[in-house]
A and B are shown apart, each in its own frame.
Chain A
């Protein structure tokens, strides 16, 4: 059994209350950081730990913190991005629901490290229960003297606020989040300037994912070097994976980075295999915006080595044969699932959530959605498949924020790996309405997908 850092006490009754959390060793990190370390030392520990952003991009957290501009007399802000709305990702919600004090503790430590006296937790609007849980947790922490003026008599002041969002996916993009937090329409800003220079209200700001902030607690408790021992290569520590789809036991798992994907799917400790005795067809390894992978490429790299759950291994092979770690939303599809329908569903999501600010994403997401809808419902043409690839290429990289890329990748990768299924939908316009392409059409065992590098 691998060591749990974030979810160690998750099954202790009442761990969502301050008293039980404190009994189990909670808020030790605050005491250690505020009383024995300087802010720079905390940043140094996080740097040493090699912690990488858990929100999707995987940028080293310590590095991000050290980029924060520190002009005299200007406030600095820490904003926690809890606008988790990627289809397939629900780890932050789990963490906030069951162990909210882990986030509060992480916020205090991180704010101290950055010298922020006001910090915000921007929670997605749909998560009203979690907002109430966090507000209760903040009140408890404040009552115990871990928030407010002169925390633990060290002279450090911190106010923590929970801000509900309006429920827009785009507000998970850090600059759109800041716009929304300022009370404006949640449109991503044009970078540069980056938030580390001019963020919230024009002040230097760091925006971090819930899990990244919570992970600072074990880093401070045990030291960055200790944390860096877990994991593999540049993917250090543990990661929460929200597994969903056709698995025997879907749910949130804390894994050591570097766990083989095969073990994650099939071992009884984790997902326990594919439900109903079926076979794996494809996976989306890191939330809806990462490229989809067929089963053979999920379990093995193109060169035959086992694929591991780590930032590097999941993206091994680039877009031709790889995917991405993303936000850890692991979705498994069994042999009966329709990839065309799934791709359409994702495209529909991005069409709905595009902010409409820049033209390629505003128009392109809607276009892809309509073409995919047509293919799924048996009105497609062969030329539509190439059209989709072309449109996705014209969106990718030409937009202000990564939403355009996120909309383009699933479509491009689905066609790259499952082109035969798209073609079947075009050739069998009536059959495709009530029958799934199914594994019957695949060779036995599942044939190695043709690696096309052209796209």
Chain B
């Protein structure tokens, strides 16, 4: 008998190490049954449990104690037990509760996607598309805040914030001072830095990447372009402070933006430093690897109408042409 525990999620059984959360067990299965996560971030210790979008139903507690759990539980913070049975998309109750949570997240959100830099790679947009209502039932003024500059490179647009606390955990993890946190309570809560001082750290730019919505934006990229007009390319450089593994977002020959590489759940693989993010915006700074894999369902993958001819970087690099074969064939098809 191995020391692994068996858990069944939506009828699919998987064996995972004890202490794994339901969400991570579902990610090991993959596919549609993975609950969405707006606040949980596997790289940030202590995150999760707040947004409630990942709620699932535990229809059987464990082999020892088969009673179901009385309430829906946050899958990102509930650990699996041997023989546990979980219902996610197979339970209408979960889907209803989740759409309720999405509605709550959206009632005070400005829905300014047309001018928001995050549009196209926004978790809330995806979630709203999947679970949201077409019309809002909220008929009151939405809460508003002034925009705040956190340092000279990052802007906080609190109106869009869903208070996932990810940036707070990031700031706690990169510095040992509590410089970044929450003010006030309830729906007046506000992300803030101590008397608007900058989060003074080489890695502060990562708060932009962890933000699931457009609340924290890169001031070097603000309003420059829509993400679906840019072409992501993985690249690296020899960086003394971080791993230097990044994604460059090209428009024509210009690098408009540098971000950390993200996995399929939108989580960064490795945090990158501010020098890489904000200051190295020339192709010459980087060693180009290959185009970033973007899921076909993402709006970023549908930028063909803009780049019918392959990017210049690809044109003079046979290795990239080979890697980009599918995309190039699509181009000739059109």
| Residue A382 lies at the interface, judged by CB distance under 8 Å to chain B | no
Q: Beta-carbon contacts of A359-400 to B below 8 Å, as 1s and 0s?
A: 110111111001000000000000000010000011001111
Interface of B is mostly: loop
Asked if A367 and B185 make an inter-chain contact with CB atoms under 8 angstroms apart, the answer reads: no
Interface contact B186-A351, CB-CB below 8 Å: yes
Residues 58-115 of B contacting A (Cβ, < 8 Å)? 71-72, 74, 77, 97, 100-101, 103-105, 107-108
Residue of chain B at shortest CB distance from A185 = B182
Chain B residues with Cβ under 8 A from A366's Cβ? 108, 186-187
Q: Select B77's contact among A190, A355, A397, beta carbons within 8 Å.
A: A190
**Complex Cα–Cα for A370 and B139 (A):** 9
Q: Which residue of A lies closest to B162 (CB)?
A: A359
Given A367-B138, A398-B52, A398-B55 in contact, is the A359-B101 Cβ separation under 8 Å?
yes
Set of chain A residues within 8 Å of B97, measured between Cβ atoms: 394, 397-398
Q: Does B140 contact A (CB under 8 A)?
A: yes
- When distances are taken between beta carbons in the complex, the residues of chain B under 8 Å from A397 are 71-72, 97
CA distance A352 to B187 in the complex (A): 8
Minimum Cβ distance to chain B for residue A372 (Å): 12
Contact of B184 among A356, A360, A365 (CB under 8 A): A356
Instruction: Tell me whether A394 and B103 are in contact in the complex, defined as CB-CB below 8 angstroms, given that A185-B181, A359-B50, A387-B137 are known contacts.
Output: yes
User: For the complex, what is the distance from the CA of A189 to the CA of B160, rounded to whole Å?
Assistant: 25
Q: Is A324 an interface residue (CB 8 A)?
A: no
Chain B residues whose CB sits within 8 angstroms of the CB of A263 once the complex forms: none
Contacts of B48 in A (CB 8 A): 190
Q: Does B51 contact A (CB under 8 A)?
A: yes
For the complex formed, measure the closest distance between the CB of A27 and the CB atoms of chain B, giving whole angstroms.
41
Task: Using known A-B contacts A168-B185, A394-B97, A394-B100, determine if residue A359 contacts B51 with beta carbons closer than 8 Å.
Answer: yes
A353 interfacial contact with B, CB 8 Å: yes
Separation of A362 and B105 alpha carbons in the complex (Å): 9
* B100-A190 in contact (CB<8A): no
How far apart are A124's CB and chain B's nearest CB, in angstroms?
16
Residue of A nearest to B48 (CB): A190
Contact B105 A359 (CB under 8 A): yes
- Docked complex: B115-158 residues within 8 A CB-CB of A: 137-138, 140
Q: Decide yes or no: A190 and B189 within 8 Å by CB, A356-B182, A370-B140, A394-B97 being known contacts.
A: no
B332 → A minimal CB distance (Å): 47
A360–B71 CB distance below 8 A: no
Q: How far is the CB of B45 from chain A (nearest CB, A)?
A: 13
B34 at the interface (CB under 8 A from A): no
Considering the complex, give the chain A residue whose CB is closest to the CB of B55: A398
Asked if A358 and B51 make an inter-chain contact with CB atoms under 8 angstroms apart, the answer reads yes
Which size class do B's interface residues fall under?
A: 20 to 34
Q: Check B9 for interface membership: any CB of A closer than 8 A.
A: no
* Contact B101–A356 (Cβ < 8 Å): no
Residues B182 and A359 in contact, CB atoms below 8 Å apart: no
**In the bound complex, do residue B140 and residue A358 qualify as a contact, i.e. CB atoms below 8 Å apart?**
no
Tell whether A365 pairs with B185 under 8 Å between CB atoms, given A370-B140, A399-B52, A400-B49: no
Give the distance to chain B from A396, nearest Cβ to Cβ, in Å.
9
Tell yes or no: B211 within 8 A of A by CB.
no
Do the beta carbons of B107 and A363 come within 8 Å of each other? yes
Report the interface size class on chain A. Answer: 20 to 34
Instruction: Determine if A354 is an interface residue (Cβ-Cβ < 8 Å).
Output: yes
B104 lies within 8 A of A394 (CB): yes
A150 to B165 CA separation, bound complex (whole angstroms): 46
The answer to whether B163 and A360 have CB atoms under 8 Å apart is no
Q: Is the CB of A400 within 8 A of B50?
A: yes
Q: Is A170 in the interface zone, CB < 8 Å from B?
A: yes
**Quick check: is B177 within 8 A (CB to CB) of the other chain?**
no
A354 touches B186 (CB 8 A): yes
Is B333 part of the contact surface with A, judged by Cβ < 8 Å? no
CB distance from B184 to the nearest CB of A (A): 7
The smallest beta-carbon distance between B268 and chain A, in angstroms, is 23
A359-B104, A360-B101, A367-B138 known; A398 vs B163 contact (CB < 8 Å): no
For residue B181, which residues in chain A have a CB less than 8 angstroms away from its CB? Answer: 185
Within 8 Å of chain A (Cβ to Cβ): is B188? yes
A356 cross-chain contacts in B, Cβ below 8 A: 163, 182, 184-189
Q: Across the interface, do B186 and A362 meet the contact criterion of CB distance under 8 Å?
A: yes
Closest chain-A Cβ to B306's Cβ sits at a distance in Å of 36
Give residues 159-212 of A contacting B (CB, 8 Å).
Answer: 168, 170, 185, 190
Contact (Cβ within 8 A) B189 A398: no
On whether A358 and B186 interact (CB within 8 A), knowing A363-B107, A397-B72, the answer reads no
- Give the residues in chain A near B77, CB-CB below 8 Å: 190
Judged by a CB distance under 8 angstroms, whether A357 is at the interface is yes
Partner of B185, one of A170, A190, A387: A170
Complex Cα distance, B163 from A355, in Å, reads 11
Q: How far is the CB of B168 from chain A (nearest CB, A)?
A: 10
- The residue in chain B whose Cβ has the minimal distance to the Cβ of A352 is B186
Tell me the residues in window 392-414 of chain A with beta carbons closer than 8 Å to chain B beta carbons: 393-394, 397-400
CB distance from B69 to the nearest CB of A (A): 11
Complex Cα distance, B185 from A360, in Å, reads 14
CB distance from A170 to the nearest CB of B (A): 7
- Contact across chains for B104 and A364 when beta carbons are under 8 A apart: yes
Q: How far is the CA of A8 from the CA of B74 in the complex (A)?
A: 47
Q: Of A352, A359, A367, A370, which one neighbours B163 at CB under 8 angstroms?
A: A359
| Complexed CA–CA distance, A190 and B140 (Å) | 31
> What is the CB-to-nearest-CB distance from B167 to chain A, in angstroms, rounded to a whole number?
15
| In the A-B complex, the 5 residue pairs with the closest CB atoms | A394-B100, A356-B189, A190-B49, A363-B104, A354-B186
Contacts A354-B186, A363-B187, A398-B52 known; 9 new A-B pairs at CB < 8 A: A170-B185, A354-B185, A356-B187, A358-B49, A360-B101, A363-B107, A393-B100, A398-B97, A398-B101
14 intermolecular pairs with C-beta atoms under 8 Å apart? A351-B186, A351-B187, A355-B185, A357-B50, A359-B104, A359-B162, A364-B104, A366-B186, A367-B140, A394-B100, A394-B103, A397-B72, A397-B97, A398-B101
